[in-house]
Chain A
């Protein structure tokens, strides 16, 4: 299944891309996506699926838009 990944801020700089459509096996969890992308948080992260918070053990669904960013705090 396909998921869309959007990286923002330091994590995008670290991993070298901003957005990417990825083919992942059915049943892949968010933590699996992290392993695939080699995400190593250097700051607290906020990860959302279609605008809502998602936990590491949550399974991804086809067509999900996953946004990975560090926790912004509003300047």
Chain B
């Protein structure tokens, strides 16, 4: 078997043991890697109903055939666990040197189970695993933690860390790497913290097994340069992801004031052009020639690396339009190790609930200094911070008074920075995203405006959402690789089967890839259904605020318009029908059989009856 090491490293923290396990071609070709591996392992090994922050949960780190190979944007690693934020399947990807180092150490995946007795870090070097004390860095921010490990092991090691947010089990704590990189929005950092693991350090010296080393080197390195040239020619990375902020403001899709509004006259103060003008450094992931991490000086003079989602949620959604203050909030989230998107959404919801008299408090939209104080309280879980650390879904459950309607999440994961009050297809993308509301799975706003109409709830929108989920949530998550060359620069999708086949020696076509994508999406739904046997389609709804006419914009291009629930249900019907899922949104037995999920269907039927 070429293209995969065939090895998984299993580490047990409770008894400080480890062992190398092997897998064969059947597993490799059925699940490929990345998200496919993490999902299947968690499905097989977790008992439903376990406490996500208890010893029975497992944290999985997984790579795949493209990981670490010199080719466009192959520096991605997937981290996953049962999510403490949503209670369902949770994962995320991040660009990190861990990708290459773990593969060179001889593994395609790492399973971390049990709980360490004391704060610990794992040191993995090829066949060796050490459990080492992390007392010196426990409690430290991720920047200082990174430096500490770099000094000890050198900058070239693979390194995943958590900040105080993960240590104190903030439900939206993330895993961090290489200063600016974060992954695992659904609280995977909290799972790592619950296991008393501050960091995983990896160094590898082995060859990554590849079927055609000369071929992939020639094509991969050549294409890396071509992608870099394309970026230079188009000027995309001058603003990177942040260019979309000004466009969202024009299209009435910007999150403003807990998504109550869709545009703001001051949005230009925090847009991509202002960011580029303030740039002091640029960062990127390994094997990337279109680096999108734009760093600026924050209000306190520190270097903060920004992207669109963070600016949208910590800036416009909180009505903070001073770029250096938004940078400060961004810096704090990164250093404290919490997800900037969810943190922004939590603060916005808190301010909104106070504004509506649902809860007492002294935080108001636009108050950057108070927002900083709150972020620090959140990671310490002190005072109101303990309440805010639980995420919007649980906050709303505690507040009551109808606040769930404007708690901006799906399945417990906070909505990222696209306000879909009147964008039905994108609302469907968020509604059906298999880890809760995340833009990484599918993004259809341009399609809705350019190729159809915003008003449409037609089948073509459900088809487009699924097409993009197969590519973005499937292909790029199981190879895994960063989608930016394709999604932002138009780098042809046809390159990816070429890379894959040169690495594995197989002759796969897109049909093979899409079957894996569909298999993964259906098994993710089984995972949720097994955890929540009372599952129904309302869990695939976006927040009710987007359907509330009283919440419509008063002026602008979508004045008076909101989503319509009966039409959203029609759109959801189209989506389920195309996927071969029933009206509850659960795969049928036939779909499971077609996708090779017969055993998984039998397992889920112990909890919930499937339709034929």
Tell me which residues from 459 to 509 in chain B have a Cβ below 8 Å from any Cβ of chain A: 484, 487-490
Q: Which of B247, B273, B484 sits near A72, CB closer than 8 Å?
A: B247
Say what secondary structure dominates the interface of chain B: helix
Tell me which residues from 1 to 48 in chain A have a Cβ below 8 Å from any Cβ of chain B: 6, 8-10, 12-14, 18, 42-44, 46, 48
Which residue, of B234, B241, B451, has the highest number of chain A Cβ atoms within 10 A? B234
| B244 interface contact, C-beta 8 A | yes
Complex interface bits, B232-245 against A, C-beta within 8 A gives 1, otherwise 0: 01111011010110
Q: Closest residue of chain A to B488, judged by CB?
A: A73
CB distance from B442 to the nearest CB of A (A): 8
B residues near A69, Cβ cutoff 8 Å: 243, 246-247, 250
Complex interface bits, B216-259 against A, C-beta within 8 A gives 1, otherwise 0: 00000000000000000111101101011011001110000000
| B307 interface contact, C-beta 8 A | yes
B250 touches A75 (CB 8 A): no
A residues near B236, Cβ cutoff 8 Å: 9-10, 43, 70
B252 touches A51 (CB 8 A): yes
B residues near A46, Cβ cutoff 8 Å: 446, 449-450
Query: Interface residues of A toward B: which range?
Result: 20 to 34
| B439 interface contact, C-beta 8 A | yes
A10 touches B450 (CB 8 A): no
A11 to B99, CA, bound (A): 35
B449 touches A44 (CB 8 A): no
A residues near B489, Cβ cutoff 8 Å: 43
| B354 interface contact, C-beta 8 A | no
A75 to B486, CA, bound (A): 11
Query: What are the 5 A-B residue pairs with the smallest beta carbon separation, nearest first?
Result: A74-B443, A51-B557, A9-B243, A73-B487, A10-B235
**B-contacting residues of A (Cβ < 8 Å)?**
6, 8-10, 12-14, 18, 42-44, 46, 48, 50-53, 67, 69-75
25 A–B contacts, CB within 8 A, in A order: A8-B247, A9-B236, A9-B239, A9-B272, A10-B235, A10-B239, A10-B243, A13-B238, A43-B234, A43-B236, A44-B490, A52-B454, A67-B247, A67-B250, A67-B251, A69-B246, A69-B247, A73-B443, A73-B446, A73-B488, A74-B443, A74-B445, A74-B446, A75-B241, A75-B308
